[in-house]
A and B are shown apart, each in its own frame.
Chain A
């Protein structure tokens, strides 16, 4: 099968790769780049465990996405979410609130929730419900996952207020 040369930036690292035209992103990310945090599940878009983010921060099912279509693009996987050794507020909330059980769908859930936070920083409960609907999880029953995402939304909003004195909450910084 004819190979195509593509340039893919994943978590800030740029790779030049020869890929088959039918290679999906999940295969390239896991099998070629060795980033196995992105999980391979149903490979048909129904379970959500392979979710990654595109450069606009949108959720992308990497099992249904052909790698050649993302030539020149920048992607984020679960390995790129914690920055400088510090967990993202979502990861922190998932951990503290007991939203992680077997952990197989967890990377997909975190990437799904990260996309939600980036696209809708004020996401409310129905928005969280809708965003998470694409990921199957038998262990948690979704309950603590929803709590963790809601908690991360609140944390990110509070951080944002704290970091922006002109937002009206000036006295808070002392």
Chain B
């Protein structure tokens, strides 16, 4: 176990190493890439939600001066995006689906040529409401999806019926969330260069170069070595950039045909077609509570509109299924998750990975169940929360867990005891709690990250990683970890990443695996380099290798700091020794578990809101966020991660919705798809809880998605508290709030029916 007092780099504020590049306009993003002879692409897209493509006439487009390539299905009869979506399908299944594409000398010519492609469609009846698709007798959209259920996962733990029979309180509730868009600052874009030698280089923002490389290699019949992924600075990920999309294939195909590099970027509303975020989803929960206030059983029946093609959305069901076990000590669970085919665009998920969205419902449902039993929600959570050492029914083990501490601290700082049930009319306070796995085993049989480190003669270092940094400052975190191991400064370390020709393997920056997995890989690589140096130092000092201390750019024998030599002197001496050793460390990390992960982060947030009863507008006044991150490697950056997730959670809870009508997005623009503006964002108070995870790098766990799972439910519970009724559909727009208030049977009471408080405890 790492003691905080022993750390010299970890836990101190380190401004991000690439900050100056990002602040002076020198950071290179994919749209900044200009290659000699580069062409510009435009895609011809289906205007219909479902239709047979009868004929595609490209003759006029090909004749337009400046056009260098036109591709249709004939150019790629076997090419598929993921498992199920043929590129340029013979039947289009959503509005915006690719039918053909052109590459020309400039974007205007490409757009003109795309408009000249004549496509003849035979319209087919479409289903765009996922609940209509589930109705018996609904037309079957895909041969492999009877009943329009493309995938179903069901699992039972314990004996739910018995647990319900033994429950003193039980209730059932249904919630909905609506289509969303990741809304990254950087629009979707790819530059592909498919050279005659059979080498494909693709520049594109990505959360996982490895997954993209594998998918493109398989699609084009290339070896992985022939596909080079270039991940430059990436303008946000938010779980939306972890899988390859049609535009990557289209750009590569056009480049292959033209023999020149091709840039394909989303223009205007195309951004909403190329993006695959959340679809409309329904969450039904039924839970039972014992007379002692213990949560006994949870049943979840979830249905997700997965749109026209199922690719990797199955992960939504595995994630939500596992999540049911992470927060409370339960006797039984029953889960069913279904992916439903429709003629909407293929959905994936939004920031929060489907879990934050499920928590919008589940958190409200349990809050209501607690109130049914006369329990204060904070007391309910504390009574039922998992703790350190707990092993769930599904096999997850918590070697560290600060959940109860997060709940207690957030509630206390927010003034819960003074406010819950005591706020003026139309003001409310609500709590949300959450957990998050640090790792992604299950995508592959391994969950491996690897790292190299090399040390120059003057003691400066280069750290090689395949982990992308989409803004979360993970590269700086990796430098901090290496610096701590080697007694160096983060600023002495250059992090080299983004080129699969150079970087070692890394599954990627998703499922919150970066800090934990890649961090442990960096520890291994830096420790390997340190061992090489320690051998030389031990000989010099006449001590055992284990007794060599590396700290503050100096090296000394344990207990004798007076004998210290400079780290760079040791590196120099190692190189100039008879052996002539150049120091290069290498390492990797893979979770020793067969599935799942070694560490989970936990958190609790309390939100306070006010509701305007005339307009239905919800204003979030304050959010207190307490998060067990194991160890904050870089505290100010950790705060920034929490801020961003509270923002995104608030944004999804109250604002974000792609309004769909018959498969058509009605508001596909940054202006009409609303996000909170600067003045709509409340202050966020951070409480960082450090449970010091025994398996985490210097005790650290993820902080990339744990906070957002708490936010939407906290706000929803505060709204319910303010207006006396729940708003069961997200986003909680003014119209939905007004509708909920109109359906309310009685005005909001000053006090909920607090019949008793368990164990007589009260939070101040």
Contacts and interface: CB of A to CB of B under 8 A. Distances in A.
Given A43-B267, A133-B677, A136-B670, A98 B236 contact: no
A44 B471 contact: no
B675 A136 contact: yes
Given A95-B16, A142-B681, A136 B24 contact: no
Interface in B13-35: 13, 15-16, 18-29, 31-32, 34
Interface in B641-692: 643-648, 651, 669-671, 675, 677-679, 681, 683-684
B683 A143 contact: yes
A104 interface: yes
A133 B268 CA distance: 21
B644 A47 contact: no
Contact of B678 (A39, A96, A129): A129
A101 B24 contact: no
Interface stretch (B131-139, B180-188, B222-230, B453-461): B180-188
Contacts of A37: 24-26
A86 to B, nearest CB: 11
A132 interface: yes
Given A129-B679, A140-B640, A101 B472 contact: yes
B23 A136 contact: no
A115 to B, nearest CB: 15
A38 B18 CA distance: 17
A12 B449 CA distance: 46
Contacts of B678: 128-129, 132-133, 135, 142, 145-146
Given A104-B185, A104-B186, A95 B19 contact: yes
Contacts of A35: 25
B184 A138 contact: yes
Contacts of B675: 136, 138
B639 interface: yes
Contacts of B233: 102-104
A90 B31 CA distance: 25
A77 B749 CA distance: 56
Interface stretch (A66-74, A105-113, A166-174): A105-113
B694 interface: no
B726 to A, nearest CB: 25
A106 B644 contact: no
Range for the number of chain A residues in contact with chain B: 35 or more
Contacts of B683: 143
Nearest to A97: B636
Most chain-B Cβ atoms within 10 A of its Cβ — which of A81, A100, A105, A138? A138
B61 interface: no
A140 B24 CA distance: 18
Range for the number of chain B residues in contact with chain A: 35 or more
Given A87-B24, A141-B647, A104 B29 contact: yes
Given A37-B26, A103-B27, A136 B185 contact: yes
Given A141-B681, A144-B643, A106 B22 contact: yes
A79 interface: yes
B715 interface: no
Interface string A142-158: 11111000000000000
B236 A141 contact: no
B351 interface: yes
Contacts of B644: 101, 138-141
A62 to B, nearest CB: 13
A139 B651 CA distance: 12
A128 B651 CA distance: 20
Nearest to A103: B22
B234 interface: yes
B647 A138 contact: yes
Given A100-B22, A102-B184, A141 B670 contact: no
A42 B18 CA distance: 25
Interface of A: 30, 34-47, 49, 77-79, 81-82, 87, 91, 94-107, 110, 126, 128-130, 132-146
10 contacts: A42-B670, A87-B24, A94-B19, A98-B13, A101-B236, A103-B235, A133-B679, A136-B675, A141-B644, A144-B640
Q: Which 5 A-B pairs have the closest CB atoms?
A: A37-B25, A141-B647, A102-B471, A104-B235, A103-B22
Given A42-B671, A102-B186, A126-B679, 19 more contacts: A35-B25, A40-B187, A43-B267, A46-B671, A78-B24, A82-B24, A91-B23, A95-B15, A95-B19, A104-B185, A110-B23, A136-B183, A136-B670, A138-B238, A141-B644, A141-B645, A141-B684, A143-B681, A144-B639
